[in-house]
Amino acid sequence: MSTVSMAANQAKQDEFNPFKSMAKGFDTAADHLGLDDGLREVLRLPERELKVSLPVMMDNGSTRVFEGYRVQHNFLRGPCKGGIRFDPHVNIDEVRALAAWMTWKCSVVNIPFGGGKGGVICDPRTMSQGELERLTRRYTAAIMDILGPDRDVPAPDMNTGEQTMAWIMDTYSMHVRRTTTAIVTGKPLNIGGSRGRREATGRGVMISANEALKMIGMRPEDTRVVVQGSGNVGGIGALLLHREGYKIVSLSDMYGTVYNDAGLDVPAVLAHLNESGRLEGYDECEHLPNAGQLELDCDLLVPAATENQITSENADRIKARLIVEGANGPCTAIASEILTDRGVVIVPDILANAGGVTVSYFEWVQDRMGYFWTEEIVNSRLEQIMVEAFQEVAETARKYDVPMRTAAYILAIDRVASVYKLRGVFA
């Protein structure tokens, strides 16, 4: 392989490495803030990383060993906070990036958490409920020494949910010999979950889209929307946008894309999805392959699936004038630059999808108080925090004359750096 080819391959690998994408955004913001090299290193690197081997008895009587991670990026502003994902493609750089993004996300919305993230390399689609429960409990036991309501508070993420959190809460509680509901968020309501939590990330996307339209002078009823994904972020986000008057023209799941130029009946689409388990088979639309969905004609694009969906390879074909990032890291750093140069406004993930961690914070507070709020109170407080954060990011963008992604990093990093300067270095 020639030197040029090797360099091109390395550049492509770097673009798709989520931790390097995070670091690029971090460094750009740190330059604007004038942070010294020592402080940059402190804030960029994770404070703790744990890798665990997880032997699990499978239904057929065999033992299989899974690999898991928990990364705690930063404790300066409070306990680490972040989801746990079960996925075949989990890797340590992905978990590092997601943990760092959680630090900046919590800081952007100004809640007292640092960032953490966890993952287990597995394919939940091929595992029984019993196997998933045994894996979850083994993983919890393996990372117990670094968990706790004042240390690290996990939450659901890709392929995990309320039941997974219930198993974690129970496993932790059995080890410490007391029921500890505040050890996780995203739990079922009857064991300390919060009203409005399941809808929170999608609601945050909707609030961010509303604020972005005001900023660029558009109206929901004139806005055609493509949503990549149809789960708790994409599906709920699409439903809430639909209720606000947006025209949702496309949704997708892992099996394919549905499209209707006149606008989808989103409640009907989601009812079909809930009944059949996939979008395939829904009438009143065209069925398209997922490849190319992001390039459909629209005003607002909501990538709400996973990271690295908009890259240097397809950024030039994106037609939307506004992107609200429902997923973590859906645009690579290079793609974000290409889109910004074209005048596309991007509401970055660490702002747009912060609704989930904000209501997770509410759940943690309610668990510690032993007093629970109505859904109206949860949604009202979420909107107040999200709108205020959006306005602060927009003001920072104007102040520094930078895109919203850089502005969000500047705001977040400055808050964490100021805490570091106040607390000093423990010797």
What is the C-alpha to C-alpha distance for residues 230 and 97, in angstroms, rounded to an integer? 24
**Location of structure tokens 């996973």:** 306
Say how far residue 5 (Cα) sits from the centre of its chain: 34
164 vs 143: CA distance, rounded Å = 15
Count CB-CB contacts under 10 A for residue 201.
Answer: 27
Contact 300, 205 (CB under 8 A): no
Among 24, 81, 105, 117, the one annotated catalytic: 117
Starting from the edge strand earliest in sequence, which strands make up the sheet with 63-72, in order?
48-57, 63-72, 114-121, 80-87, 152-156
Alpha helices (H) along 161-265:
162-176, 200-216, 234-243
Is 117 tagged catalytic?
yes
3-class secondary-structure state, position 137:
helix
What residues contact 228, with CB distance under 8 A and at least 6 apart?
Answer: 234, 252, 293, 294, 301, 302, 303, 304, 305, 309, 327, 330
Q: How many residues does the structure list for the chain? A: 427
Question: Could you list the active site residues?
Answer: 117
